[in-house]
Structure formats: structure tokens, C-alpha cells
Amino acid sequence: MRVAIGSALAETTPLGVSRADLDRLDERVGVAADRIERGRAAADFGYAALDLPERTDPAPIESAAASLADAETLLTIGIGGSSLGAATLARALGEDGRTLFLDNVDPAHTRGLLDDLDLESTALNVVSRSGTTAETLANFLVVREVMDEAGVDWTTRTVVTTGDSGNLRELAEAHDLPVLAVPDGAPGRFSALSPVGLLAPAFQGADIEAILEGGKRVAGGLGDSLFETPAYAYGATAYALEERGANINAVMPYAEALEAFAEWFAQLWAESLGKDRRGQTPARALGATDQHSQLQLYRAGPRDKLITLVRPRDRPNLPIPETELDGIGYLSGEDLGGLLDAEFDATAASLAESGVPSVEIAIDAIDEHGIGELLVGMEAACIMVGELSDVETFTQPAVEWGKQATRDLLRGEGSLPETPTLVVED
Amino acid sequence: MRVAIGSALAETTPLGVSRADLDRLDERVGVAADRIERGRAAADFGYAALDLPERTDPAPIESAAASLADAETLLTIGIGGSSLGAATLARALGEDGRTLFLDNVDPAHTRGLLDDLDLESTALNVVSRSGTTAETLANFLVVREVMDEAGVDWTTRTVVTTGDSGNLRELAEAHDLPVLAVPDGAPGRFSALSPVGLLAPAFQGADIEAILEGGKRVAGGLGDSLFETPAYAYGATAYALEERGANINAVMPYAEALEAFAEWFAQLWAESLGKDRRGQTPARALGATDQHSQLQLYRAGPRDKLITLVRPRDRPNLPIPETELDGIGYLSGEDLGGLLDAEFDATAASLAESGVPSVEIAIDAIDEHGIGELLVGMEAACIMVGELSDVETFTQPAVEWGKQATRDLLRGEGSLPETPTLVVED
């Protein structure tokens, strides 16, 4: 992984960090890096995520995938951290449409998805650590009934990914289903490189050992200086810019295959760092498409953003044919990837020209090794920001209120607090 | 359309607007509404967008769709405003996979898409007002050549959507292709209710006259007070909250079918209002999924956000089966949509409880009429924010620098300005 922070320096942008400030910050990075390593050594909750690439045994995952090999489609039922890591890996490594994800509880969508599925050839992976996640269990109950009604034996091709005990564990025992273990040591958003994230790419035929290798390369190489460790260079820069007013972190990969990565990143960043009235808001973008949507704002809007540009160094070749059409002769003989990279460079320069800080993150290629590096690199970066910000990176207490209120509403217990009414209707 | 702003009031949230301030703001809304109506009467650029539902003739669009009726798939090649409106309408009104969109110039993605397509049964719609949009023309040239090489006559099922002159217009004349007109009076992001946005849903079998009717209902009912006009209630509230520090507008529809709508909204808001160091940054979210991703940040992070919650009043029924599983008995006998709506209500309440302002926008249903109302309502809201903010809503000057730099790079003319280098690599 390569992280370039020159365009986030005070020399480039009024919001930027000076080299002297970076030097001072690096002392704090060293202290934080030491704490992270102690957390890993003690297998403390959260920190242990950095050792998942080392600890995760690919064998049971590959074995579960093999047991589903005669299925045409794998439908993963899970939400948040039980879905986004798997989706990120599956989408980065293939667009073959064989892996589907059902997270939301939208009756129109769930119905439409089930209508389109060939149930006979669909495998299920139900993912919930507790076995009681409302959305996941509700969707599973619906899907199971539809299969029952169609005379399809859902127990023949269902994998359960869950914790050591609870509903789904018992269900698996009752029906003799293969079980994959949600790892103990980390919240869902940090568990992509575990069975939680790896079954879907394994089903697609990806080399999950190479994903783990990529993760290990980053996790094994974490040093104690931002000037030597790309992940910490990114995390420390994001922290420094947040301190200087960059409340927004617009993550803009220049690769369609990384669109789901931007969603995964958005959960990682928001749920880990959005605490104590702190935390950058992740804005999910996609280059070059969002040059035609968000770039006007990024360049000319408030100075409250860091733009994180991500790209692979290698892209497949796809030449743009010669053309007789007026005004686009400059495209003739170029490659589509050359156009995309020129747009990347021009956008980076246009941000610098207007005084907006950006960081460039590059991986060698969007392949197993590269995506493994990228995910673990961003996890390490996020943990570093959490240390520097002094927040509890691995919890998400603010979501509990709404979960309880939802249960109360459905149970007919209690009622929501009143809010003032001001309704305008036509 | 129904807009509820009670949870954005100062009574609910420290960031909120007081009723007295709203009353004062309403005087400015009246002045702005008058200016908007004068702009419409004079058919001034941009303001004229509000009359597209009235002016757009569905006949040529329906006729073009009919000429493609034997195609299995319609591939729309366009980017930004030449794609997002059509995608929003197509996705809201169906998930049948018959309409595809190619916007980005990613060689891996374009190649993968072409490999999966049955070229013989694929129709094309090439959308570019100027006929020189780099991404659109590059992709079109690639697709055309692949069809040529496969012996497929691309001229038999290609529609061109473009301006009065230029490349694509000439191409259409040379090959006798059907042409749909990009309307003069508005930038692309305001042209969903024109041929630019309507061919894809028409191809899918949607009733585009009902889309226009929905738009007309909103555009014809715009009054001069935020207390009477839902679109202006939303726009004025968003403006007032931006003035009070809500630099972020997180748009969170509770409906999978509106996921593309959130992208369309993000362009509308960012490109129209991101000027003069002003403009809320749109954050695209999706309920209930993002409760498991962004809600922690929304509730516990910085007080810099307005959360815009969107939902339909009607949803299809899909009962959650009775279950023997522990801890989720409260789901038994509920409907999946009931769960989603309970989560909506609980999330709204949980935001209010933590002092975060939100607005609720409801449409009757996600159907032709409802989506027509929603899009034109948001356009009117955006124009109102632009008037109140005194920005040039209908231009996007900041994107030109990068476009020129891209062309220069590919032509080998000039070079990008140097930025300081600080690279960390492992």
C-alpha cells in the first residue's frame, strides 16, 4: 500500500498540516502504536482484529464453500458488519452476480429478490453474532418460509455464521447445518478477514488465503511512525485534518469494483469514530462518476473536507477506438483506464488548486492480495485515529436506544417521546 | 408530498430553528418564491426546469421506447445528470434488471458488463447534451466497436439523446437513429422529467405520463409560503439549519427502491448549492441498513448534520412468519414493512432524543406519481435554498478546471501544477 499525503500539507492547502506539526504528531503516533501493539499482544477486544488475518483458519471456510459448490447463487442474510465486509470482498473480486446480499427489511425489495431467485439452486448464509438481529432474523424467517412453501429443503444448503451460543447456533445443531464462527475479538465492522467476510468470496472462487496474506502483510508491518507505516500516515493525516476542520472525509475510489469498499469504509469510520461529538462524516463517492456530481461542492464549497482518493496501479487494458467524431480526437488511441487515471490526476490537481486537502491511497491491483491490504490498512488507520482522538473505537453505544425503541414499539410496550408537530402537506 | 419539520425546531434540538425565526424566514421565502415564478414565466435557464413536467411531450419518448421493445436490455450510456435521473426513475419503478447504466470509464467494469451482455438483444441510449462528454463518448466508442466485432448492427437499436447540434446529432442523422432532445432550459441534474430521464422507465413499461402528472402536481402547486408548500418547507428548513451549522445533509430513504434517488439528490444538492464556500454536503444513506453503519455517528458525533428521512406511506405486505426462536418473539405476526416503519419511527425519535435535527418527507407510494412528486419537490426545494443562499444554482463552474486538465494531459499539452511530495510506502 502507498499513501501520499503531500496534498494534505499546509504548503498545499489552508486546512493542511505543517511538516513541523506532523513531526510533533508522530511522537503521539509512536505512543499510540505502542498501545495498539500491547492491545494486540493481550488480544484485547478490537485490537485483536489486526490479528484476524493471522488467526483466521481458511480451512473451514473453504470447506463450507465447497459444500455449497453446486449452488448457483449464495444469498448472504446479514446487516452492517455482518454484510459489508463480505460484500466488499465479493464485489472487489468479481461481478458475476452469483453472490447476493439481503440486509434491509424492505418488503418490496425482499419480495422482488425472492421472485427473481431460483430457490432450488440458492444457498443461504445467515450471519448474526447474537442470533437475534431483528432485520437478519426477520428476513431469514421470510426466506425460509418461501423455500418451505416451494418445497425446497432449505437445510441442505444453509450455512450459519454466528457466535458460540444462541438461536442460530441451536438452529444449526437442530438441522445439522455447517456453522462458521464469528470471531470474539472484534466488532463486526472489523471482522471482514474472518469467516464473516470470507465465505462469499470463497464461494465465488476467490483465493481467500491470498486475501489473508495481503492483510498479514499490512498487520505484520505496522511500525511506530507515520513516516514509515502507510496506514498510520493515513490515519494521522485524517486526524490532523479533522482537528483543523475537516469534518467530512469523502472517500472516492477510482474503480467500480471498490464501490462497496466505500460503504464498508463508511461504517468503519462512522461507527468507530463517531463519538463524544467527534468523528468525520464519511461521504461515499466514486471516481470518475462523482466528478459529475460532487466535485463542484468539493472544490467550491465549505473548507470542511478531506478527499481520500483510492486507486489501483494496474488496470486491464481496454483501448478506446479511433473516432471520426468532432472534439474528442484526443481520446483516440487512448485506453479507457488511461482516461480514468488522467481524470484521477486532474481531479487531485484541481483539488489542490482550489486549496482542498486530499490523500492518495494506491494498491498494486484490485485482487485478493490488494484488497486484503486495503481493508486491514484502513482498519489500522481507523484504530490510530481512535487512539489519537481518545474515543472508544470498538463500541457503538448510541445505536442501542433505537433498537430498544423498535422492540418496544413492536411489543406494544411504551411509546416514543413526543416531538413538536409542524407538518406541511399539499 | 408531506414534509414534517417539527424535529428540526429549536424546541427539539440545539441546532434547530425557532418558530419566530421561521416566521421571519417565511418573508424571505415569499420574495424568493416570487422570483422563482418570474423566472419560470420568462423561461429563464434553470427555473424553466419546474415546467418540464408540463412541457415534456411523452409521445416521442414512448415512440422511442416502442422502437426498442424487442430488446431485452436497455443500456444507457451517460454520466451525472445524463444518467442519475433515469436511474432513479428506473430503480424506483422496477428491479427487473432490464435497464443498465454505464457511466464510469473503468476498463474492468466496462469489459465485465460487455462480457455479460447479450449484444444481439441490447438497445443503447447514448446521452450527452454536447455530444463530447469524454466518459460517455469513450464508452460509446468501446461498446460500438464490440458490437461491430460481434457482427451486431448497433444502428438498429440505438437512440441518441442530445442537444440541437453536435457529434451525436450528426451521428444520428448519418445512421437514421431516433433522437430525443435534451431540453434547453435546465442543467442535466434538473432534467429527470424530460426525455433525459424518461426513456429508461418507459422501456421498463412504466407510465411516464403519470410521472409527469406527479411532477405537475408539485410544480403547479408551489405557493409563496413555507407553511403551505411542502417543497419550500423542506428547502427553507435545510437552509436555516445550514446557517446554524448543519454542513451535512444525510439523506436516508427507508426504501431500497430509493437508493438511486439518494444519489440523484446528492448531485442535485452538491452541484447546485456547493458554491462560494457554502453548501451542505449530501451524505447518501439508506434506512434501515445504515442504522447499522451511520447512526452511531449521527447521534453521538458532531452537531453538524440535518438528517432527511424519506419514506412511502404504503408498502406491500410481507408477513414475518411465526417463530420458535428465542428472543425474537416480538417479530412474530408482524409485517416486514411494519418492522421497517417501526425502525423509521424509532430512529427519528432517537435522533430527537440526542438533539439531532431531522425532517421527514413522505410520499403516498413509490409509484409513478409519487416519484414524480418527490423529484420535482426536491428540485423546487433546491432552487429555494439557492435563492435564500444567493448562489448561482444552475451552473457548475468549478468542474471545468479538471475537465480541461484531463484533456490537456491526454493531448500531451501542458502539465499539472506540482504539489509537495510526501509518500509512505511499505
Mutate to test the interface with A, among B336, B363, B366, B369 (most CBs of A within 10 A): B336
Q: Which stretches of chain B drop beneath a pLDDT of 50?
A: none
Other C-beta atoms lying within 10 Å of the C-beta of residue A184: 12
State which amino acid sits at residue B224.
Answer: D
Contact A426 B221 (CB under 8 A): yes
pLDDT at position A99 is: 96
Instruction: Say if residue A307 is in the same domain as residue A232.
Output: yes
Q: Side chain identity at A2, as an amino acid letter?
A: R
| B45: closest CA of chain A, how far (Å) | 19
Same domain, B364 and B224: yes
Whether residues B153 and B273 share a domain: the answer is: no
pLDDT over 90 (residue A113)? yes
Domain of B179, in residue numbers? 50-208
Whether A384 and A281 share a structural domain: yes
By residue count, chain A amounts to 426
Same domain membership, residue B82 and residue B168 = yes
Looking at residue B419, its pLDDT comes to 87
Asked if residue A324 and residue A251 are part of one domain, the reply reads yes
* Partner-chain contact B289 A79, CB within 8 Å: yes
Least confident of A17-31, A139-153, A403-417: A403-417
Inside any domain, residue B177 = yes
Q: How many CB atoms lie within 10 A of CB A14?
A: 11
What does B200-264 look like in DSSP terms, one character per residue? HHHHHT--HHHHHHHHHHHHTT--S-TTT-HHHHHHHHHHHHHHTT--EEEEEESSGGGHHHHHH
Contacts of residue B6 in chain A, CB cutoff 8 Å?
419-423
Cα Rg, chain A, nearest whole Å: 23
The answer to whether the CB atoms of A337 and B107 lie below 8 A apart is yes
Cβ pair A416:B79 closer than 8 A: no
Residue B403 is among the residues annotated as catalytic for this protein: yes
Q: Using omega within 30 degrees of 0 as the cis cutoff, is the peptide bond preceding B71 cis?
A: no
Residue of A nearest to B299 (CA): A398
Across chain A, mean pLDDT equals 96
Strand-pair partners of B124: B75, B158
First to last CA, chain A: 54
Residue A324 pLDDT class (50, 70, 90 cuts): confident
pLDDT in tens, A143-178: 999 999 999 999 999 999 999 999 999 999 999 999
Boundary-marking domain end, from A208, A236, A265: A208
- Grid coordinates representing B339 are 418492522
Q: Is residue A423 part of a domain?
A: no
* Mean pLDDT, rounded, for A297-307: 98
The pLDDT confidence band at residue A22, using thresholds 50, 70 and 90, is: very high
**CA torsion, ordered A118, A119, A121, A122, to nearest 10 deg:** 110
Summarised one tens digit per residue, pLDDT across range B31-88 is 999 999 999 999 999 999 999 999 999 999 999 999 999 999 999 999 999 999 999 9
Whole-number pLDDT of residue A326: 85
3-state percent helix, strand, coil for chain A, nearest multiple of 5:
55, 15, 35
Asked whether the beta carbons of residue B270 and residue A293 sit closer than 8 angstroms, the reply is: yes
* Residue whose grid cell is 428506473: B90
Q: Could you give the CA distance from residue A331 to residue B163 in angstroms, rounded to a whole number?
A: 21
Residue type (1 letter), B286: L
User: Is B45 a member of any domain?
Assistant: no
A96 vs A26 pLDDT, higher one:
A26
Asked if B139 lies within 8 A of A336 by C-beta distance, the reply is yes
Q: Judge if A221 and A336 occupy the same domain.
A: yes
Overall number of domains in chain B: 2
Q: Is A290 contained in some domain?
A: yes
Cβ contact (<8 Å) for B420 and A9? yes
Which of B107, B316, B424 lies at the smallest CB-CB distance from A229?
B424
Chain centroid offset of residue A126 CA: 19
Residue B56, H or E segment: none
Same domain, B327 and B238: yes
Q: Is A275 a catalytic residue?
A: no
Sign (positive or negative) of CA dihedral B352, B354, B358, B363: negative
ipTM over 0.95: yes
Whether residues B277 and A303 touch (CB distance < 8 A) is answered with yes
* pLDDT, tens digit, 9 for 90 and up, residues A198-230: 999 999 999 999 999 999 999 999 999 999 999
> Where among A208, A233, A252 does a domain terminate?
A208
**Of residues A97, A142, A397, nearest to B318 (C-beta):** A142
Chain A interface disruption, residue of B226, B422, B423, B425, most A CBs within 10 A = B422
Burial class (CB in 10 A: 0-12, 13-18, 19+), A115: exposed
Q: How far apart are CA B347 and CA B339, in angstroms?
A: 12
Are residues A384 and A243 located together in one domain of the fold? yes
Q: Residue B305 falls within a domain, yes or no?
A: yes
pLDDT at B327: 86
Write the CATH number for A249.
Answer: 3.40.50.10490
B98 and B229 in a single domain? The answer is no
Q: How many CB atoms lie within 10 A of CB B316?
A: 15
Q: Is the dihedral of CA A247, A253, A254, A260 positive or negative?
A: negative
pLDDT of residue A414: 82
Residues B29 and B148 in one domain: no
- B229, A77 in Cβ contact below 8 A? no
What chain B residue is nearest to A291 in terms of C-alpha separation?
Answer: B399
Instruction: Return the residue of A nearest to B109 by Cα.
Output: A256
**What is the distance between the alpha carbons of residues B9 and B6, in angstroms, rounded to a whole number?**
6
The residue out of A187, A208, A229 marking a domain boundary is A208
- Facing residue for A346 by CB, picked from B171, B346, B402: B402
Which residue of chain B comes nearest to A109, CA vs CA?
B256
Domain assignment present for residue A419? The answer is no
Residue A327 placed within a domain? yes
The sheet with strand B158-162 has its strands ordered as B99-102, B73-77, B122-128, B158-162, B179-181
**Contact list, B97 vs chain A (CB under 8 Å):** 116
Same domain, A167 and A254: no
pLDDT at A313 over 80: yes
**A273-292 per-position pLDDT tens digit:** 999 999 999 999 999 999 99
Q: Is residue B413 part of a domain?
A: no
Cell of A381: 488507520
Distance CA(A401)–CA(B347), nearest Å, equals 9
Nearest chain B residue to A410 by CA: give it. B330
pTM score, two decimals? 0.98
Residue type, A420: P
Decide: A205 and A92 in contact? Cβ < 8 Å. Answer: no
